[in-house]
Amino acid sequence: MIAATPLSGQFELDQTPKGWQQQLADAVTDPLELCRILQLDPETILPVLERSPEFALRVPRSYVAKMRQADPRDPLLLQVLPLIEENSRVPGYGTDPVGDLDARAATGVLHKYQGRALVIATGACAIHCRYCFRRHFPYAEESGLQAGWQTVLAALKADPTLSEIILSGGDPLSLSDRRLQQFTDALREVPHVLRLRIHTRYPVVLPDRIEQGLLNWLASAPLQKVVVIHANHAREIDSSVHRACTDLRGAGVTLLNQTVLLKGVNDSVETLTDLSEALFAAGVLPYYLHVLDKVQGAAHFDVDEARALEIHADLATRLPGYLVPRLVREVAGAPAKMPVRA
Ligand SMILES: *Cc1c(COP(=O)(O)O)cnc(C)c1O
Ligand code: SF4
């Protein structure tokens, strides 16, 4: 994933809270700096670190602040730290694990499932998640924003079976409010589209992105709105995340969450129970628990299927049904996300 373009080089040092764009520009990208902030010994960390220029370390400072000091196994840290294991070439792990490129309906539009099309709005993200299944996606050629959304809009218009558009990426909320407004303004000419869904990590990893301009845009869009956030651990969900979620609901948004089951991060029934509880406390329902997509560089996060089923079955004995996410796998060419079954 490419980083969002920093806005300008120099910032004045003052006491006013930084806006989200400034926080993006100010994200931690240097592993040594991350070690310094977290009081981790670079001598012990560096031998395991990977230099990954095309998918570099990237993490907002407010997210770093939620990590535990001096803990190399911290579940938030593990989501962003580029490890030398990323170099392993493991059979079965590829650069397009879920068949995205075969599902292209137009530049920047993926169409896999009936009634729903997914728009690759941008390649930029606030954070670089090491297990991301689109970490090798050719965003430069396949972003829907090119030509001012026109190719995307023409494709959506031409297919009256579509009732739901999913803005994805990358992270679509990396785009400015003005760009997003342009998109929904153009959607007014596509009357068969009833629902707008947004897949985003911003409410979790940079909640200040959920500001008034964005809320105004959402509230004014004449569509049903669903925002699917992406939290993997209860410790990601603090008061600033609560505030962002409350504001999104206030703008008429239904909030769901998807989680990726990740070894060392959340592969225990206690961790996932706490996560569901924390999500509901923030007004968010758990939607999917994804087993890892087999993307090159992420094999060290894999939890085997038998263990995934065991955790999921345990989860169902501890929580009300509405707090148990569906355990699914994405299978290239399948007509839906597939339930993982024994
Ligand atoms: C995951 C995905 C969707 C959404 O699937 P739901 O089961 O509706 O959440 C839609 N389109 C594509 C291409 C997807 O990968
Ligand atoms: S998982 Fe989402 S936020 Fe993380 S790098 Fe991938 S697209 Fe970006």
**110-163 residue pLDDT tens:** 999 999 999 999 999 999 999 999 999 999 888 888 777 999 999 999 999 999
How does pLDDT run across 182-198, given as a tens digit for each residue?
A: 999 999 999 999 999 99
For residue 161, being part of any structural domain is answered with yes
Identify the pLDDT of residue 145: 83
How does pLDDT run across 261-281, given as a tens digit for each residue?
A: 999 999 999 999 999 999 999
148 versus 56: which is more confidently predicted?
56
Q: Are residues 141 and 243 in the same domain?
A: yes
Q: Are residues 132 and 253 in the same domain?
A: yes
For residue 238, being part of any structural domain is answered with yes
Ligand 2 nearest atom to the CA of residue 1, by list position: 5
1 pLDDT exceeds 70? Answer: no
Identify the pLDDT of residue 73: 95
Q: Tell me, using a 6 A CB cutoff, whether residue 110 lines ligand 1.
A: yes
Give the pLDDT mean for 198-204: 98
Q: Are residues 219 and 319 in the same domain?
A: yes
282 versus 31: which is more confidently predicted?
282
For residue 264, being part of any structural domain is answered with yes
For residue 212, being part of any structural domain is answered with yes
Q: At a CB cut-off of 8 Å and minimum separation 6, what does 44 contact?
A: 72
Q: Tell me, using a 6 A CB cutoff, whether residue 171 lines ligand 2.
A: yes
Identify the pLDDT of residue 7: 43
Q: Are residues 54 and 135 in the same domain?
A: no
Q: What is the residue with the minimal CA distance to atom 7 of ligand 2?
A: 170
Q: Are residues 31 and 119 in the same domain?
A: no
Indicate the residue among 87, 122, 143 that finishes a domain.
87
- The three-state (H, E, C) secondary structure of the chain, written as one string: CCECCCCCCCCCCCCCCCCHHHHHHCCECCHHHHHHHHCCCHHHHHHHECCCHHHCCCECHHHHCCCCCCCCCCHHHHCCCCEHHHHCCCCCCECCCCCCHHHEEECCEEEEECCEEEEEEECCECCCCCCCCCCCCCCCCCCCCHHHHHHHHHHHHCCCCCCEEEEEECCHHHCCHHHHHHHHHHHCCCCCCCEEEEECCHHHHCHHHCCHHHHHHHHHCCCEEEEEEECCCHHHCCHHHHHHHHHHHHCCEEEEEEEECCCCCCCCHHHHHHHHHHHHHCCCEEEEEECCCCECCCHHHCCCHHHHHHHHHHHHHHCCHHHCCEEEECCCCCCCCEECCC
Q: Tell me, using a 6 A CB cutoff, whether residue 294 lines ligand 2.
A: no
Q: Tell me, using a 6 A CB cutoff, whether residue 127 lines ligand 2.
A: yes
Identify the pLDDT of residue 15: 53
Q: Are residues 141 and 234 in the same domain?
A: yes
CA 113–ligand 1 middle distance (angstroms): 7
Judged by average pLDDT, the poorest of 100-104, 164-168, 225-229 is 100-104
Q: Are residues 296 and 331 in the same domain?
A: yes
Identify the pLDDT of residue 10: 42
How does pLDDT run across 175-184, given as a tens digit for each residue?
A: 999 999 999 9
Q: What is the residue with the minimal CA distance to atom 6 of ligand 2?
A: 132
Give the pLDDT mean for 85-114: 94
53 pLDDT exceeds 80? Answer: no
Q: Are residues 276 and 138 in the same domain?
A: yes
Question: What is the share, in percent, of the chain residues with pLDDT greater than 90?
Answer: 84
Indicate the residue among 87, 113, 139 that finishes a domain.
87
Q: Are residues 76 and 138 in the same domain?
A: no
CATH number at residue 241: 3.20.20.70
Q: Are residues 37 and 109 in the same domain?
A: no
Query: Mean pLDDT across the chain, nearest whole number?
Result: 93
CA 326–ligand 2 middle distance (angstroms): 20
Q: Tell me, using a 6 A CB cutoff, whether residue 170 lines ligand 2.
A: yes
For the whole model, what pTM was predicted? Answer: 0.94
For residue 96, being part of any structural domain is answered with no
Ligand 2 pocket test target in 24, 63, 76, 134 with most atoms within 8 Å of CB: 134
Q: Domain of 299? A: 101-339
Q: Are residues 67 and 122 in the same domain?
A: no
241 pLDDT exceeds 50? Answer: yes
Identify the pLDDT of residue 9: 40
For residue 209, being part of any structural domain is answered with yes
Confidence grade of residue 6 (pLDDT, cut at 50, 70, 90):
very low
For residue 5, being part of any structural domain is answered with no
Number of folded domains that form the chain: 2
Q: Are residues 59 and 194 in the same domain?
A: no
Identify the pLDDT of residue 148: 77
